[in-house]
C-alpha cells in the first residue's frame, strides 16, 4: 500500500476523455469540465502542546457547482497535495451527478500525519483550518464531510468553529455547513455506515443480475476504516465469508473466515488489524493474490495497477475507495473478465446520506434508520441501473458508463443554462 503514486489527476483526465469521446460530449462542455473552478490553498500556524509553533498546509478544491453547492470530504493524510485533491474533487462532481443529488463536487484536506498529534492538537489544527477557509465553505455554498482519517468529531469542531464566526442570529440555520456530524450535533442516523451500506447495496444488485449467490461468496477487504469495516460487517448477514484484510499495519488472512464484527472491536481497541489473534499475518502480494469472489478496495488511490491487477483472482471488484484502480489496472481487469463496480457509483452512499443529513437540517427533521436506508437503497439502486444500462447501450466498461451517466446529466444543465455573459 506504500507504492509510489502516479498522478491521480492524470487518471481522472484519462477516464474523462475516454467517456467524453465515446458519448461525443460537446467540446465546449468538455473544456469546462476538464478544469476545476476554484482552488484554495491555506497555510496556517498552530501552537502545539509543548508551546512550539507549527505551520500547516490545507486545501479545498471546488471542481464544479452547476448541479448544486460544492460537496465533498476533507482528508487528513501525508499524501494530500493539490493534484490529489483536484482528482478527488472531480470525482465528487461525477458522483453527485450519477446519484441524482443536487450537489457539485469539491474535496479538501490537510497535508498531515494525524497519528503524530494529540487530540488537543488535532482539535486546534482543525479549528484553525476552518477559520482559514472562512467563507470558502458555507451551508449553501460548499459543504465538507468526513473522508480518510477524519470523522464525526472533526466535523463537530468544524461546525462549532464555523458557527462561532457567524452573527448569533444566523447560527441555528447554518448547521448544514458540514455533514457526517455526530447525531447529537445534527448528524443523520445511518451516515456512519452509509458508504459501506451503499457498497453492499450495489454488490447485492450485481449478484442478482449475475445469478451469483452471496451466501456462499468469499471476499477480502483493503482498508479497515469507516468504509472497509462497514462493508465487511454488512456483507456478513448474507453469509458471505471475509477471508483477508489489509490496512496500514499489514495484512491478515484466515480461510475459515474472519468475523468482521470482532475485528472491528479489535481495531477500536488497538487502532490497527496487526496482531488480531484469529488470523495469520500475510504479505501484501499474498493478500492481493487471495482467491475469492469479491475484492473491496477501501483504502487509497492507485492500488490496482498494471503491476498488481494481474495478481487479482476474483470475479468482482467493488470500489469502496476513491480511485483505487488506475487506467492501466482497468485494462488488465477487463482482459481478465473481472467485473468492476466503479468508485463513483459504488461508494456514493456516503454523499447520498450526506444529502439526507443536509435536508434534515434544513427542515429541522430527524428521520429514522428505516427511512434513511430505504431512501439510500432507492437512490443507489437507481444509479446502479442507469450505469448498468448505459454500459450495455454503449458497449463499454462500467467506469466509462458511469462517466457517461454523469456527463450526460451535466451537459443537459449547461446547455439549458448557457454560458455567461
Which residues in this chain contact ligand GLU in the complex, by CB under 6 A?
A: 71-73, 145, 147, 179, 322, 347, 350-351, 354
Q: What is the rounded distance in angstroms from the CA atom of residue 117 to the CA atom of residue 111?
A: 13
Of 207 and 222, which CB lies nearer to ligand GLU in the complex structure? Answer: 222
Of 192 and 327, which CB lies nearer to ligand GLU in the complex structure? Answer: 192
Q: What is the rounded distance in angstroms from the CA atom of residue 192 to the CA atom of residue 188?
A: 8
| Beta carbon of residue 146, minimum distance to ligand GLU (angstroms, whole number) | 6
Residue nearest to ligand GLU (CB): 73
Which position among 71, 95, 107, 181 bears the catalytic label? 107
Contact assessment for residue 44 and residue 132, using Cβ atoms and an 8 Å cutoff: yes
Q: Scan for cell 463536487, then name that residue.
A: 105
272 sits in which H/E element: none
Of 88 and 267, which CB lies nearer to ligand GLU in the complex structure? Answer: 88
List, in order, residues 6 or more apart from 421 with CB less than 8 Å away.
Answer: none
Of 190 and 350, which CB lies nearer to ligand GLU in the complex structure? Answer: 350
Active site residue 18: no
| Beta carbon of residue 179, minimum distance to ligand GLU (angstroms, whole number) | 5
Of 87 and 252, which CB lies nearer to ligand GLU in the complex structure? Answer: 87
Q: Give the Cβ contact number of residue 184 at 10 Å.
A: 8
**All cell numbers assigned to 263:** 475485528
| Beta carbon of residue 350, minimum distance to ligand GLU (angstroms, whole number) | 4
How far does Cα 266 stand from its chain's mean position?
24
Q: What is the dihedral of CA 276, 279, 280, 285, to 10 degrees?
A: -100
Q: What is the rounded distance in angstroms from the CA atom of residue 269 to the CA atom of residue 335?
A: 42
| Beta carbon of residue 87, minimum distance to ligand GLU (angstroms, whole number) | 11
| Beta carbon of residue 343, minimum distance to ligand GLU (angstroms, whole number) | 8
User: In 3-state terms, what secondary structure has residue 374?
Assistant: helix
Main-chain dihedrals φ then ψ at residue 352, nearest 5 degrees:
-65, -45
Contact assessment for residue 346 and residue 200, using Cβ atoms and an 8 Å cutoff: no
Instruction: Concatenate the DSSP letters of all residues of 273-292 into one string.
Output: STT-TTSEEE-HHHHHT-B-
The CA-CA-CA angle for residues 195, 200, 206, to 5°, reads 130
Contact assessment for residue 404 and residue 23, using Cβ atoms and an 8 Å cutoff: yes
| Beta carbon of residue 139, minimum distance to ligand GLU (angstroms, whole number) | 13
Of 73 and 114, which CB lies nearer to ligand GLU in the complex structure? Answer: 73
Q: Which residues sit opposite 77 in a β-bridge?
A: 111
Which residues are identified as catalytic?
107
Amino acid at each position: 500500500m506504500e507504492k509510489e503514486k502516479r498522478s491521480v489527476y492524470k487518471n481522472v483526465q484519462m477516464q474523462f476523455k475516454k467517456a467524453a469521446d465515446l458519448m461525443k460530449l460537446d467540446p465546449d462542455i468538455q473544456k469546462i469540465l476538464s478544469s476545476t473552478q476554484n482552488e484554495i490553498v491555506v497555510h496556517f500556524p498552530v501552537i502545539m502542546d509543548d508551546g512550539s509553533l507549527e505551520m500547516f498546509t490545507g486545501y479545498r478544491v471546488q471542481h464544479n457547482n452547476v448541479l448544486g453547492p460544492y460537496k465533498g470530504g476533507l482528508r487528513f493524510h501525508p499524501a494530500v497535495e493539490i493534484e490529489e485533491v483536484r482528482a478527488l474533487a472531480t470525482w465528487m462532481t461525477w458522483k453527485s451527478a450519477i446519484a441524482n443529488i443536487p450537489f457539485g463536487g469539491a474535496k479538501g484536506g490537510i497535508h498531515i500525519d494525524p497519528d503524530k498529534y494529540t487530540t488537543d492538537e488535532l482539535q486546534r489544527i482543525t479549528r484553525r483550518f476552518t477559520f482559514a477557509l472562512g467563507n470558502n465553505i458555507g451551508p449553501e455554498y460548499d459543504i465538507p464531510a468526513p473522508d480518510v482519517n477524519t470523522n464525526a468529531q472533526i466535523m463537530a469542531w468544524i461546525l462549532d468553529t464555523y458557527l462561532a464566526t457567524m452573527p448569533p442570529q444566523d447560527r441555528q440555520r447554518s448547521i448544514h455547513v458540514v455533514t457526517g456530524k455526530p447525531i447529537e450535533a445534527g448528524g443523520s442516523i445511518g451516515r456512519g455506515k452509509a458508504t459501506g451500506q451503499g457498497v453492499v447495496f450495489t454488490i447485492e444488485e450485481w449478484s442478482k443480475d449475475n445469478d451469483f449467490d452471496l451466501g456462499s461468496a468469499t471476499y477480502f477487504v483493503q482498508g479497515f476504516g469507516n468504509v472497509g469495516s462497514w462493508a465487511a460487517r454488512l456483507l456478513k448477514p448474507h453469509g458471505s465469508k471475509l477471508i483477508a484484510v489489509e490496512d496500514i499495519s499489514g495484512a491478515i488472512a484466515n480461510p475459515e473466515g474472519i468475523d468482521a464484527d470482532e475485528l472491528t472491536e479489535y481495531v477500536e481497541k488497538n487502532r490497527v488489524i496487526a496482531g488480531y489473534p484469529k488470523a495469520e499475518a500475510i504479505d501484501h502480494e499474498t493478500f492481493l493474490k487471495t482467491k475469492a469472489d469479491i475484492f473491496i478496495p477501501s483504502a487509497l488511490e492507485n492500488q490496482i495497477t498494471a503491476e498488481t491487477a494481474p495478481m487479482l483472482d476474483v470475479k468482482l471488484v467493488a470500489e469502496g475507495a476513491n480511485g483505487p484502480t488506475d487506467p492501466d489496472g482497468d485494462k488488465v481487469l477487463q482482459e481478465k473478465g473481472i467485473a468492476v463496480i466503479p468508485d463513483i457509483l459504488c461508494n456514493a452512499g456516503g454523499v447520498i446520506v450526506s444529502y439526507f443529513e443536509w435536508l434534515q437540517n434544513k427542515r429541522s427533521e430527524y428521520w429514522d434508520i428505516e427511512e434513511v436506508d430505504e431512501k439510500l437503497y432507492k437512490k443507489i439502486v437507481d444509479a446502479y441501473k442507469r450505469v448498468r444500462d448505459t454500459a450495455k447501450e454503449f458497449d463499454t466498461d462500467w467506469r466509462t458508463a458511469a462517466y457517461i451517466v454523469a456527463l450526460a446529466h451535466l451537459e443537459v444543465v449547461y446547455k439549458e443554462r448557457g454560458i455567461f455573459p
